[in-house]
Amino acid sequence: MSIRYNENTKQLILETASTCYQMKIDNMGYLNHLYYGPKLGQNDMSYMFRTYDHGFSGNPYDMRNNRDFSLDSMSQEYTSFGVGDFRVNSIAASCSDGSRCAEFRYEGHEVTDGKYSIPGLPSVYDEGGQAQTLIVTLLDTAANIRIKLYYGVFEELDIITRCAEIINAGSEIVWLRKASSVCLELPFGKWDMIHFHGRHCMERQPERVPLFHGIHTIVSGRGMSSHQHNPFVILCDREATEENGPCYGMMLMYSGNHKTEIELDQFDSTRVVMGINDDRFRWELSPNTGFNTPEVILSCANGLTELSHRYHRAIRNNVVRGQYKLSHRPVLINNWEATYFDLNEDKIVSLAKKAADIGVELFVLDDGWFKNRVDDNAGLGDWIPDTNKLPNGLDGLIEKINALGLKFGLWVEPEMVNEDSDLYRAHPDWAMTAPNRAPMMARNQLVLDLSRKDVHEYIFNTLSDLLSKYNITYIKWDFNRPLADVYSHAAPSPRQGEVTHRYYLSLYKLYDRLTKAFPHVLFEGCAGGGGRFDAGMLQYSPQIWCSDNTDPISRLTIQYGTSFGYPVSSIGAHVSATPNHQTGRLTPLNTRGTVAMMGAFGYELDLTKLSEDELSEMKQQIERFKELEPMIHNGLYYRLSSMQESGHYFAWQFVSPDRSRSLLSIVVTNPLANSAPVHVRLKGLDSQTVYSVNGEFECLGSSLMNSGYTFPQLTGDYPAMQLDIVKVK
């Protein structure tokens, strides 16, 4: 049993293989948070719970004679609002009488086998019947708001999922103004926050900062999970390293506006509230209706590596759906950086021929294949093949590609429209624009209002037609601008604050319908590169184009940052041209291949311009990747260089699940003259197994992990090296 209730102590205890989570219903009916951390032999953590006279904090009315008792200093599972807990709140609402406060007390709980699901939203699923669900119900009788807190306990995965449902239990409308998914309290300890910030072409840069008193906010209001702030944060002990130290992860499974507030309060206690961004959010809750928040995946582990492994395993096995989740991903070539918009059938077929010769398995036709799409000024919305560029239509092209032995994939950006398109001319009100205001433009395009049913159906039918009519086995689903002027011409004015979330409910439904109708199609998510790289999208698209920056040296930090939360199999990574189109940097093909092999591997350059030597090196890369893919995608991934060392080199390692094989990779980003050689301690090997190291010598796993390995001097422009470590006996 992963979930237990102790009637005597009024404790609810959740246990996974190595962690324990405890809460307690106190005498007043408040649901207190007691503990989340490593499993302890000790079952009752209530001794940790003490109250003190906290001066200016205030006391609930029925505890007015007990100054020790204050909501402002208590650890809680989900907060009240407006009644004397002055820290960041989980929820805010206004009632029809204008009041804006509620105080939640325990009403009941139930435990069920299996994992709850959330209506309309992606969530971690349980196929093997290994999960249990706890639902705790809280109620405020004055505002008539009921909250159901959901906990999904995955024992083997060592994760706990959480979300909330806010229900209007009264007879008048309630306006929900904030509805977070979780509140997690860390009452003691000194914590660093690691978060993943960035920009277009430089996503998920890790930053580790000590918490200071006040509120740290990680937020996106861009209508997408964003290039700027990923909805994943880690709190770790000041001393924590890859190997050791308490580390807590919180990952929001949502692709829209999000907000994480981390408050270090006056009593040195830390509270984290994570969920949908409340800025411009307002949801009408009519009587007897509920609002479901997105899910947060929680884990805690000893060291950052173990934390990452838990997220990788959970996402690979219990988030990603469909036939591609653990199986081979086709090695692809994408024509974008080879042709940009200047494509035609001859160019595409010549590129495909070269690709087929070197062992590529899938050809992806990127932007520019449809009517009027000569640049980014026109065409989005009208998904009709351009017969000027493709005189034999898409079928003619696909036949030729298939005849070369390649599968065919297509780029689409279905959520967007250009003003210069038949779709916009017919339905200008389908675009999100605010009344009497010229809209913000980005890449000359507008966003279709997917919160509308007619827009949802139009996109579903358009994509279904393409997928039914043509032999397409892969879709690159792009999204190239943020949401601004958020306004639905189909929604009444009091409900405009619902539009962004309704947009995402509709997007998830669209993906759900399409992936069910076309299960053989591999979807790759994309948003100007990695602007919508989150666990929500990963439920439907097993891989996501990680960044529009294909420079391998930039990719080192982008992929390094991404690896903290997301598995290697989810990271779309391509070998591109040198000099690189984004940075102008020259790098060896070996380096580009080494870096792209930390991902769902492919190519994105004009192969017709390459020498025979380069093509044969690529052929070898592809053979190597195909052989190693099961380990790279579904094995264990270790970061061997730390954030501090990344100025000089990056080293990482893959280990097969049975530990019989490993691949050690290094890229030197800043060769130093006459420096100490790079030395790493390997990880994850079996200590008693003898391994061959690149066929050069044999060595016990324990030696490689304790004494380590010293690389030869690597000099020149961004040199890279891969070492095969194979079990001998």
The verdict on 477 binding ligand GLA (CB under 6 A) reads no
Q: How far is the CB of 68 from ligand GLA (least distance, A)?
A: 56
The verdict on 336 binding ligand GLA (CB under 6 A) reads yes
- Tokens encoding 122: 């992606």
Question: CA–CA separation, 665 vs 395, rounded Å?
Answer: 42
Helix (H, G, I), strand (E, B) or coil at 645: helix
Q: How far is the CB of 336 from ligand GLA (least distance, A)?
A: 5
Question: CA–CA separation, 350 vs 355, rounded Å?
Answer: 9
The verdict on 478 binding ligand GLA (CB under 6 A) reads yes
Residue span binding ligand GLA (CB under 6 A) among the ranges 348-356, 420-428, 526-534, 638-646: 526-534
Pairing of strands 202-210, 131-140: unpaired
Q: How far is the CB of 340 from ligand GLA (least distance, A)?
A: 8
Pairing of strands 571-576, 543-545: parallel
Question: CA–CA separation, 643 vs 676, rounded Å?
Answer: 19
The verdict on 382 binding ligand GLA (CB under 6 A) reads no
Question: CA–CA separation, 213 vs 225, rounded Å?
Answer: 27
Residue 314 is given by DSSP the state: H
Among 80, 226, 230, 480, binds ligand GLA (CB under 6 A): 480
Residue span binding ligand GLA (CB under 6 A) among the ranges 301-309, 388-396, 522-530, 608-616: 522-530
**C-beta of residue 276 within 8 angstroms of C-beta of residue 254:** yes
DSSP strand E in 526-570: where?
543-545
Residue among 478 and 629 whose Cβ is closer to ligand GLA: 478
Q: What count of residues does the chain have?
A: 729
The verdict on 348 binding ligand GLA (CB under 6 A) reads no
Question: CA–CA separation, 409 vs 523, rounded Å?
Answer: 9
Q: How many residues touch ligand GLA (CB under 6 A)?
A: 11
Pairing of strands 600-604, 571-576: parallel
Q: How far is the CB of 572 from ligand GLA (least distance, A)?
A: 9
Question: CA–CA separation, 529 vs 534, rounded Å?
Answer: 13
The verdict on 411 binding ligand GLA (CB under 6 A) reads yes
Q: How far is the CB of 231 from ligand GLA (least distance, A)?
A: 20
Residue among 103, 185, 534, 548 flagged as catalytic: 534
- Tokens encoding 533: 């790289």
Among 103, 548, 551, 629, binds ligand GLA (CB under 6 A): 548
Residue among 411 and 523 whose Cβ is closer to ligand GLA: 411
The verdict on 370 binding ligand GLA (CB under 6 A) reads no
Span 675-714, contacts to ligand GLA by CB under 6 A: none
Question: CA–CA separation, 709 vs 723, rounded Å?
Answer: 11
Residue among 614, 617, 686, 724 flagged as catalytic: 614
Question: CA–CA separation, 223 vs 479, rounded Å?
Answer: 11
Q: Would you call the peptide bond into 542 cis, given omega within 30 degrees of 0 as the criterion? A: no
Residue with tokens 């639902």: 135
Residue among 529 and 602 whose Cβ is closer to ligand GLA: 529
User: Is position 534 annotated as part of the catalytic site?
Assistant: yes
The verdict on 369 binding ligand GLA (CB under 6 A) reads no
- Tokens encoding 527: 């948003």
**C-beta of residue 46 within 8 angstroms of C-beta of residue 33:** no
Q: How far is the CB of 550 from ligand GLA (least distance, A)?
A: 9
- Judged by phi (left if over 0) then psi (alpha if -120 to 50, else beta), residue 350 lies in alpha
Residue span binding ligand GLA (CB under 6 A) among the ranges 54-62, 510-518, 524-532, 643-651: 524-532
**C-beta of residue 544 within 8 angstroms of C-beta of residue 552:** no
Binding mask 419-458 for ligand GLA (x = CB under 6 A): ----------------------------------------
Among 103, 366, 382, 629, binds ligand GLA (CB under 6 A): 366
The verdict on 576 binding ligand GLA (CB under 6 A) reads no
The verdict on 367 binding ligand GLA (CB under 6 A) reads yes
The verdict on 526 binding ligand GLA (CB under 6 A) reads yes
User: Is position 614 annotated as part of the catalytic site?
Assistant: yes
Q: How far is the CB of 438 from ligand GLA (least distance, A)?
A: 24
Residue span binding ligand GLA (CB under 6 A) among the ranges 66-74, 154-162, 523-531, 585-593: 523-531
Question: CA–CA separation, 479 vs 458, rounded Å?
Answer: 17
**Which residues contact ligand GLA (rule: CB under 6 A)?**
336, 366-367, 411, 478, 480, 526, 528-529, 545, 548
Catalytically active residues are 534, 614
